[in-house]
Structure 1
Amino acid sequence: MVTASQSTETVIYQGQFGEFTITDRDRQGVIIYRSGLAVAALSFLLGTSLLLWQGATPFVLNILTVLFAFFALGLGTSLLTIHIYLVPLHRLLQMFWLVGTVFSTAIAFSSPEPLALFVYKHPLTLLGTGFIFAALTGIYFKEAFCFNRLETKLLTPLVPILLLGFMAGIFPSEIQQLFLASWSILFAVFALRKVFQAIPPDIGDKSVFSYLENQKQQN
């Protein structure tokens, strides 16, 4: 439980392991985190909308590659600034993002076909590119656990179900489109709600971070 008291100069928060304050740098980190999510969500929403509206035309497929690049950049930015108490989990999500991004970039530059078309024709490539979505699902899970958000509770199982179902070939195209549309809308809702959320909850209990750092140095 984190409580706050107002002093003449700043707000002092009482964390689990002691008092702490929130600095401008902390706030900037949260703003960057949310901005990255917004870029990723908007890119995903635009790409999904174009694909479902216009179909897999050459123009749309090429635009999807550009939008995926913005999606990956936004997500990577968020993963740099997200506050997660468990450092190994934080590093694991960043590693997932890196693997998925590198694999996707390799396909984009080596394949004569647009990235989305190549992945669609070769579903097992998601074993590489899918790591970036695993990192995104990690954010959904963290937000669902910390803030009890309905949209992230839905997204946490929806994303792996869609991707695994696509790789296994068990979903007809209509179900894939429904899941994809739901994903893009819920992601946009999540990112939009983050814009209006108070900043301190996203920073968390800084005394926990200090405690864990001290424990690490003592070991």
Structure 2
Amino acid sequence: MTQLQESEQRVYQGQFGDFTITKDDRTGVIIYRAGLMVAALSFALASWLVLWLGNTPTVLNALTPLYVCFCLGLGVSLLTIHIYLGLLHRVLQIFWAIGVAASVVLAVQAGEPLALTVYNHPVTILGIGFIFAALTGIYFKEAFCFNRLETKVLMPLVPLLLLGHLSGFLPVQTERVLLGVWAIFFLVFALRKVVQEIPPDIGDKSVFVYLKEQRSVRA
């Protein structure tokens, strides 16, 4: 508790002035990381079921609730992530919303499990793919800010797998390998976030204040 109070009282020197990190700031980062962990665990479990147990009816039925958990976890992370570019932050949230809406429509209209619909009809990726575009945005932000190897791999891997399945140029075995790598690296990414210091995820608060003031002036 003492260390936490000292951390909150510490004054950081930002680009546009000094700032402190509050309890709410730290809570926001914890929620962001928790959302990533839920998404990563859900994705890893779903991938494991597909890769090791195949497309049995039980597996296919289990994938939908896991996908729901993945989407919810990712949505929470997109609400609490710290991104200096407000427009980029909003775009990622809109992508998530479009992907979720497309997923709901497909799940309601299709007479089969959602995963089977997407696999058998690759064109559906044009809708639900927005969710993974938002996830790739997080990978990009983390790679740019923290130079993490796993996010550098995931940035090109995710669109490669999705576009490869959409166009049909990737062999099934290659898709399975890429899916396994994605699941492992996503889980590694989420686990490394758990042990990372909190202040770097908050960033330079003076930049957020400055940008907010600039928007107010323009308004």
For the aligned pair, the TM-score class normalised by the smaller chain equals over 0.9
Moved runs in structure 1, 4+ residues, more than 2 A?
6-9
Equivalent pair of 2:36/2:77 in contact (CA under 8 Å)? yes
Residues 176-208 of structure 1: per-residue CA shift (max 9 Å, x gap): 000000000000000000000000000000000
Question: Matched residues in 2 for 1:96 and 1:200: separation?
Answer: 27
Residues 60-103 of structure 1: per-residue CA shift (max 9 Å, x gap): 01100010000000000000000000000000000000000110
Give the number of equivalent residue pairs: 214
Percentage of pairs with the same residue: 64
Structure 1: which amino acid aligns with 2:65?
A: V
- TM-score, normalised to structure 1's length? 0.96
Structure 1: tracts of 5 or more residues without a match: 1-5
Q: Which residue of 2 aligns with 1:109?
A: 108
Q: How does 1:151-190 map to 2 (within 5 A)?
A: 151-190=150-189
Structure 2: tracts of 5 or more residues without a match: none
Question: Matched residues in 2 for 1:156 and 1:162: separation?
Answer: 11
Question: Matched residues in 2 for 1:63 and 1:16: separation?
Answer: 48
Give the secondary-structure state (helix, strand or coil) at the position aligned to 2:79.
Answer: helix
Residues 83-129 of structure 1: per-residue CA shift (max 9 Å, x gap): 00000000000000000011001111221100000001110110000
Q: Which residue of 1 aligns with 2:192?
A: 193
Q: Displacement of 1:7 after TM fit?
A: 7.9
Question: Matched residues in 2 for 1:23 and 1:41: separation?
Answer: 27
Aligned residues: CA RMSD? 1.3
Give the secondary-structure state (helix, strand or coil) at the position aligned to 1:13.
Answer: strand
Give the secondary-structure state (helix, strand or coil) at the position aligned to 2:18.
Answer: strand
- TM-score, normalised to structure 2's length? 0.96
Q: Which residue of 2 aligns with 1:73?
A: 72
The structure whose residues are more often helix, as a share, is 2
Q: How does 1:200-211 map to 2 (within 5 A)?
A: 200-211=199-210
Residues 153-185 of structure 1: per-residue CA shift (max 9 Å, x gap): 000000001100110100111000000000000
The 3 A distance-change label for structure 1 pair 146 and 152 is: same
